[in-house]
């Protein structure tokens, strides 16, 4: 079981929304692989309700990173914020 859960909220820019759905999913797949190499599992990817950001990514890892954001893994994102949650189990 992973020790930490990171919830990252991000705002994709206009270029991201201009991409075809298949291109967006390719970007997510590449981010999933890059994250895996860094010791993170991309667990959930989607659009949140009730936030000002347009996308949410949930990561799991045994590593603790204070400033881990999705910006370095997914192009076209800006204004991200990450919430770190330590699993109690």
Tell me how many degrees the CA angle 87-56-86 measures, rounded to the nearest 5: 10
The residue to which tokens 């770190």 are assigned: 84
pLDDT tens for each residue of 21-45: 999 999 889 989 988 888 889 898 8
Cα distance between residue 29 and residue 23, in whole Å:
10
Structure tokens at 44: 């959930």
Query: In terms of CATH architecture, what is 4-86?
Result: 2-Layer Sandwich (3.30)
Question: Which pLDDT band, with edges at 50, 70 and 90, does 71 fall under?
Answer: low
Q: Give me the pLDDT at residue 26, please.
A: 93
Structure tokens at 9: 């909220």
pTM of the model: 0.76
């Amino acid at each position: 079981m992973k020790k930490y859960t990171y919830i990252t909220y991000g705002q994709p820019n206009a270029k991201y929304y201009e991409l075809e759905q298949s291109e967006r999913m390719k970007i997510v797949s590449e981010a999933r692989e890059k994250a895996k190499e860094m010791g993170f599992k991309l667990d959930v990817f989607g659009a949140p309700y009730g936030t000002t950001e347009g996308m949410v990514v949930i990561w799991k890892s045994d590593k603790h990173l204070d400033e881990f954001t999705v910006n370095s893994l997914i192009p076209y994102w800006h204004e991200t914020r990450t919430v770190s949650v330590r699993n109690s189990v």
